[in-house]
Structure 1
Amino acid sequence: MTAAPQDSLFPPVPESADAVLHGLDPEQREVALALTGPVCVLAGAGTGKTRALTHRIAYGVRTGRYKPGTVLAVTFTQRAAGEMRGRLRELGAHGVQARTFHSAALRQLQFFWPKVVQAEPPRLVERKIQLVVQAAEACGLRLDRAELREVTGDIEWAKATQTVPDDFAEAAAAAGRTTSREALETARVYAQYEALKRASGRIDFEDVLLLTIAILQDREDIAQQVRSQYRHFTVDEYQDVSPLQQRLLDLWLGERDDVCVVGDASQTIYSFTGATPEHLLGFPARHPGATVVRLVRDYRSTPQIVHLANNLLSHATGPAARQRLELVAQRPPGPVPESTEYADEVAEAEDVAHRIRALVAEGVPAAHIAVLFRTNGQSNLYEQALGDAGVPYRLRGAEAFFDRPEIRSALSAVRAAAHSGANDTALDLDAPLPAQLRRVLVSHRLWTAQPPAGSGAVRERWESLAALVRLAEELARARPGAALTDLAAELADRQANQHAPTVDGVTLASLHAAKGLEWDAVFLVGLAEGMLPITYAQTEEQVEEERRLFYVGITRARSRLHLSWSLSRTPGGWGGRKPSRFLDALRTPGSARPASDAPRLRTGRAPATNGERHTPDRGAGERPVPRRRAPARCRVCGRTLTEAGEMKLMRCETCPSDMDEGVYQRLRDWRGERAQDLGQPDFCLFTDKTLVAIAEAVPETEAELSRIPGVGARKFRRFGSEVLAICAGQECAPGAKAD
Structure 2
Amino acid sequence: MLYAVTVHQDAAGVAGAVATAGSLPAYRLVRTPPPPVRPPVLDADQRRVVDHAGGPLLVLAGPGTGKTTTIVEAVARRVHDGLDPEAILVLTFSRRAAQELRERITRRLRAAVGAPLAWTFHAWCYALLRLRRPADPLGVPPRLLSGPEQDAKLRDLLAGTREVGRPRWPAALAGCLTTYGFAEEVRAMLARAREVGLDPDALARLARNAGRQDWAAMATFYADYLDALDNVGAIDYPELVQRAALIAEGDGVGAELRRSYQAVFVDEYQDTDPAQERLLRAVAGNGADLVVVGDPDQSIYGFRGAEVRGLLEFPARFPHADGRRADVVTLRRCRRLGPVALAVSRDVARRIPATGLPAEYLRAHRDLVAAGPPVVERVEAQTYTTAGAQAEGIADLLRREHLENGTPWDRMAVLVRSAARSMLLLRRMLVAGGVPVEVAGDELPPARDGAVAPLLLALRCVDSSPDELTAQAAHTLLTGPMGGADPTSLRALGRALRAAERAAIAAGAAGAGAYGSGTPAGAAAPAASAELLRQAVVDPDRTLLMVEEHLARPARRLGELLRSARAVRAAGGTAEDVLWVLWSGSDWPARLERASVAGGAAGRAADRDLDAVVALFAAVGRASDRHGPGTGIGPVLDELEQQQIVGDVLAERPARPDVVRLLTGHRSKGLEWDLVVVCGVQDGEWPDLRTRYSLLESERLERPELGGVREPVTRTELLADERRLFYVALTRARRRLVVTAVDSPEDQGMSPSRFFHELTDAERLGVSVTRGRSRPARPLTLPSAVATLRRAAVDPESTPAMRQAASVRLARLAAALDDAGRPLVSAARPGRWWGLVEVTSGEVPVVAADAPIRLSGSSLSALATCPMRWFLEHEAHAQDVSNTEMGFGKVVHALADEVATGRTPPDLDELDVRLDRVWRHLGYEAPWRSEQQRVAARQALARFLVWHTAARGRRLVASEVPFSCDLAVGGRTVRLRGFIDRIELDDAGRVHVVDFKTGRTAPSAADVVRHPQLGTYQLAVRAAAVAPHGQGAGAEPGGAELVHLRLDAGPDPVPDVPGPDAPGAGVPGPGAPAGRRPVRAPKIQRQEALPPDGLTWVDDLLVDAVECIAAERFPPRPGADCPMCAFRRCCPAQDDGRQVIT
For this structure pair, what is the TM-score category when the shorter chain's length is used for normalisation?
0.5 to 0.7
Alpha-carbon deviation of 1:137?
3.8
Structure 2 counterpart SS, 1:509: strand
TM-score (norm: length of structure 2): 0.42
Alpha-carbon deviation of 1:242?
1.0
Structure 1 counterpart SS, 2:91: strand
Distance (whole Å) between structure 2 residues aligned to residue 564 and residue 512 of structure 1: 18
Alignment of 1:475-514 (within 5 A): 500=654, 502-514=656-668
Q: Which AA in structure 2 matches 1:161?
A: V
1:53 matches 2:229: no
Q: Which AA in structure 1 matches 2:370?
A: A
1:130 matches 2:152: yes
Pairing partner for 1:372 from 409, 415, 435: 415
Q: Are the equivalent residues in 2 in contact too, given 1:390–1:454 (CA < 8 A)? A: no
1:39 matches 2:57: yes
Is the alpha carbon distance of 1:184 and 1:504 closer, same or farther for their aligned partners in structure 2, counting shifts above 3 Å? farther
Distance (whole Å) between structure 1 residues aligned to residue 52 and residue 240 of structure 2: 32
Q: Give the structure 1 partner of residue 970 of structure 2.
A: none
Structure 1 counterpart SS, 2:245: helix
Alpha-carbon deviation of 1:66?
1.8
Is the alpha carbon distance of 1:530 and 1:132 closer, same or farther for their aligned partners in structure 2, counting shifts above 3 Å? farther
Structure 1 counterpart SS, 2:109: coil
Q: Which moved more, 1:49-58 or 1:33-42?
A: 33-42
Q: Give the structure 1 partner of residue 719 of structure 2.
A: 543
Q: Give the structure 1 partner of residue 237 of structure 2.
A: 205
Distance (whole Å) between structure 1 residues aligned to residue 178 and residue 667 of structure 2: 26
Structure 1 counterpart SS, 2:742: strand
Distance (whole Å) between structure 2 residues aligned to residue 48 and residue 554 of structure 1: 17
Q: Are the equivalent residues in 1 in contact too, given 2:389–2:774 (CA < 8 A)? A: no
Alpha-carbon deviation of 1:558?
1.3
Structure 2 counterpart SS, 1:455: helix
Pairing partner for 2:753 from 574, 580, 584: 580
Alignment of 1:147-296 (within 5 A): 152-164=187-199, 193-194=225-226, 196-220=228-252, 222-253=253-284, 255-285=286-316, 286-287=318-319, 288=324, 290-296=326-332
Q: Give the structure 1 partner of residue 771 of structure 2.
A: 604
Q: Which moved more, 1:527-536 or 1:151-160?
A: 151-160
Is the alpha carbon distance of 1:250 and 1:359 closer, same or farther for their aligned partners in structure 2, counting shifts above 3 Å? same
Aligned identity (percent) is: 30
Alpha-carbon deviation of 1:167?
6.8
Q: Which AA in structure 2 matches 1:246?
A: E
Alignment of 1:703-714 (within 5 A): 707=1136
Alignment of 1:303-702 (within 5 A): 303-319=339-355, 323=362, 324-331=365-372, 332=374, 334-362=376-404, 363-377=406-420, 378-398=422-442, 454-458=603-607, 500=654, 502-536=656-690, 538-567=714-743, 575-588=748-761, 598-607=765-774, 697=1127, 700=1130
Alignment of 1:106-117 (within 5 A): 106-115=126-135
Q: Are the equivalent residues in 2 in contact too, given 1:113–1:120 (CA < 8 A)? A: no
Q: Are the equivalent residues in 2 in contact too, given 1:83–1:499 (CA < 8 A)? A: no
Pairing partner for 2:86 from 48, 56, 69: 69
Q: Which AA in structure 1 matches 2:668?
A: A
Distance (whole Å) between structure 2 residues aligned to residue 352 and residue 182 of structure 1: 49
Alpha-carbon deviation of 1:129?
2.1
Is the alpha carbon distance of 1:216 and 1:329 closer, same or farther for their aligned partners in structure 2, counting shifts above 3 Å? same
Is the alpha carbon distance of 1:89 and 1:28 closer, same or farther for their aligned partners in structure 2, counting shifts above 3 Å? same
Q: Are the equivalent residues in 1 in contact too, given 2:396–2:776 (CA < 8 A)? A: no
**Number of aligned residue pairs:** 532
Q: Which AA in structure 2 matches 1:353?
A: A
Structure 1 counterpart SS, 2:64: coil
Is the alpha carbon distance of 1:182 and 1:266 closer, same or farther for their aligned partners in structure 2, counting shifts above 3 Å? farther
Is the alpha carbon distance of 1:558 and 1:111 closer, same or farther for their aligned partners in structure 2, counting shifts above 3 Å? same
Distance (whole Å) between structure 2 residues aligned to residue 499 and residue 54 of structure 1: 24
Structure 2 counterpart SS, 1:90: helix
Alignment of 1:6-17 (within 5 A): 12-14=35-37
Structure 2 counterpart SS, 1:371: strand
Is the alpha carbon distance of 1:320 and 1:384 closer, same or farther for their aligned partners in structure 2, counting shifts above 3 Å? farther
1:81 matches 2:98: yes
Q: Which AA in structure 2 matches 1:218?
A: G
Structure 1 residues 442-494: Cα deviation after superposition (integer angstroms, max 9, x where no partner): xxx9xx999676313537989xxxxxxxxxxxxxxxxxxxxxxxxxxxxxxxx
Q: Are the equivalent residues in 1 in contact too, given 2:151–2:183 (CA < 8 A)? A: yes
Q: Are the equivalent residues in 2 in contact too, given 1:266–1:320 (CA < 8 A)? A: no
Is the alpha carbon distance of 1:224 and 1:196 closer, same or farther for their aligned partners in structure 2, counting shifts above 3 Å? same
Q: Which moved more, 1:159-168 or 1:95-104?
A: 159-168
Q: Are the equivalent residues in 1 in contact too, given 2:300–2:666 (CA < 8 A)? A: yes
Distance (whole Å) between structure 2 residues aligned to residue 144 and residue 655 of structure 1: 29
TM-score (norm: length of structure 1): 0.63
Structure 2 counterpart SS, 1:261: strand
Structure 1: give runs of 5+ residues left out of the alignment: 1-8, 176-180, 401-444, 463-494, 590-594, 611-634, 638-650, 657-694, 709-719, 729-739
Alpha-carbon deviation of 1:264?
0.6
1:299 matches 2:335: yes
Is the alpha carbon distance of 1:320 and 1:700 closer, same or farther for their aligned partners in structure 2, counting shifts above 3 Å? same
Q: Are the equivalent residues in 2 in contact too, given 1:239–1:279 (CA < 8 A)? A: yes
Distance (whole Å) between structure 2 residues aligned to residue 357 and residue 302 of structure 1: 23
Q: Are the equivalent residues in 1 in contact too, given 2:337–2:734 (CA < 8 A)? A: yes
The structure with higher relative contact order (CA 8 Å, sep 6+) is: 1
Q: Are the equivalent residues in 2 in contact too, given 1:138–1:192 (CA < 8 A)? A: no
Distance (whole Å) between structure 1 residues aligned to residue 926 and residue 122 of structure 2: 49
Q: Are the equivalent residues in 2 in contact too, given 1:567–1:575 (CA < 8 A)? A: no
Q: Are the equivalent residues in 2 in contact too, given 1:265–1:320 (CA < 8 A)? A: no
Distance (whole Å) between structure 2 residues aligned to residue 703 and residue 561 of structure 1: 43
Q: Are the equivalent residues in 2 in contact too, given 1:153–1:272 (CA < 8 A)? A: no
Distance (whole Å) between structure 2 residues aligned to residue 582 and residue 533 of structure 1: 7
Distance (whole Å) between structure 2 residues aligned to residue 166 and residue 531 of structure 1: 40
Distance (whole Å) between structure 2 residues aligned to residue 580 and residue 500 of structure 1: 34
Is the alpha carbon distance of 1:392 and 1:185 closer, same or farther for their aligned partners in structure 2, counting shifts above 3 Å? farther
Structure 1 counterpart SS, 2:662: strand
Is the alpha carbon distance of 1:333 and 1:188 closer, same or farther for their aligned partners in structure 2, counting shifts above 3 Å? farther
Is the alpha carbon distance of 1:380 and 1:192 closer, same or farther for their aligned partners in structure 2, counting shifts above 3 Å? farther
Structure 2: give runs of 5+ residues left out of the alignment: 1-31, 162-173, 445-592, 612-648, 692-713, 778-880, 885-924, 931-1124
RMSD, aligned CA: 4.4
1:100 matches 2:135: no
Q: Are the equivalent residues in 2 in contact too, given 1:41–1:293 (CA < 8 A)? A: yes
